[in-house]
Structures are given as C-alpha cells and as structure tokens.
Amino acid sequence: MVLLYEGKAKRVYATESPTQVRVEFKDSATAFNGQKKAEIGGKGTVNAAVSAQLLTHLANHGLATHFVKQLDARNLLVERLTMIGLEVVVRNRVAGSLHERTGLPEGTKIDIPVVEFYFKNDALGDPLLNDDHVRLLGLASDDLLAQLRREALRINGILESFFLQRQIVLVDFKLEFGFNADGALTLGDEISPDTCRLWDAQSGERLDKDRFRRDLGGVEEAYQEVYRRVMQ
C-alpha cells in the first residue's frame, strides 16, 4: 500500500483505482495545533464508524459525499478529491474560539447559524478568514464561497435533526470539501467527535474532543457513547 498522506488523525493510501483512496483512522489525538498529543483507545474505530454512518445519512438526503464503503473497523474507501484549502465551520451555539472572540457565554443558542471559513495551513495555525481574505488568497471564488455556505447550512439542518433524535446537541462542527474526478463539489474528510462539538441534550455533558482538550477525563467513554447513540 502506498502511503499518500499522513495527518494528525488519519493516513491516506492509494488503491488500485486512481479515483479512490483508503483512509485509515488512527487512535492518535492532538490539540492546540499539535502541541498536545495522546493516544485514545478505540478512537479510530469510533470515528471511522460514525463518519461512515453520518456520511451515508447525508448521501441518503441527496448530499454528494466522498464515502464509498467501510472496509473494516478503521478503514474507509472514499473518492479521491482535489481538496479546497478551506475548513468550513458551522456554529449553532457559542463555544470554543467563538466564546473567546465574542465574550458571549458558552452554550448561548445562536438563532441563525454562524458559518466561518478557516485557512487550512498548519504553519499559520489555520486562521479565521473573511470573504475578502479568501479572495486575496485565491482559495475560492465568490460563487464557490456562496455554494460552500449553502451546502454547509444544508448539512447542518440534516445533522442537527439526526443528533437531536439521539438526545445530542450539535454545538458546532467542521467540514471540508473538494472536487471529484468529474469536477463536482463533494463533501470529504470525516464527521466525528473529533470534528464536532456534541453535548448531551439533558445534562450538557461534553461528548467530544473537548474532553481531551480541557483534560476533563472520560474521553474514551464519551466517544463510545456517541458511537452507541449514532449507530442505534
């Protein structure tokens, strides 16, 4: 297997098809741009299964995703995409950096979801960009930005309902998009407790990577609880 790319949480391998790759989910966890690192038992298998389930759910609602099939406990077969150099974040409640930037209390409900764009650049710390910055860097046209925003909000509506049925509040989450071999805009990467803030709807308990970021403990248990609810 030819390793094409290794990131903080995944490895990407070539396959026999030039239009498909295999994504292996690791147990490695990082935070604060790689400054904090650890191994979380079972994280890779949880993220692979949860991503497969959620991407399938989105595809069933007419969204174009890169997911093809799950190969085993920690490997997915996906379409090979030419990725856009932006992370698209949708926020339904105030948390994390939005709390730090605005001073609004964490957990404040946002009536109209906030969509943010971040520059995918580890050396710069993945900075927040506005539309003018995106245009300056040549990362996306105005039309593509508008399309990304529409798709992100559409995904948000589908996932918010999915999670709420399982007594989970979708606080915020990150998406990445690219173009497939036919040039169609396609959702890529993963959707998991690594890329979403997920709170228990009754207790407000955090069921995501914030347990690792904030040294709250119970990280493995939180991931397993998300797995249990998503897969039911």
Give tens-digit pLDDT for 12-61.
999 999 999 999 999 998 887 767 889 999 999 999 999 999 999 999 99
What are the sequence ranges of the domains in the chain?
Answer: 3-79, 82-218
Q: What per-residue confidence (pLDDT) applies to 34? A: 65
Statement: the pTM of the whole predicted model exceeds 0.85:
yes
Query: For 112-119, what is the mean pLDDT?
Result: 98
pLDDT tens per residue across span 55-107? 999 999 999 999 999 999 999 999 999 999 999 999 999 999 999 999 999 99
Residue 225 belongs to what H/E stretch? helix 219-230
Task: Give domain 3-79's CATH superfamily.
Answer: Phosphorylase Kinase; domain 1 (3.30.200.20)
Q: How many residues does the chain have?
A: 232
Averaged confidence pLDDT in the chain: 96
Domain 82-218: which topology? D-amino Acid Aminotransferase; Chain A, domain 1 (3.30.470)
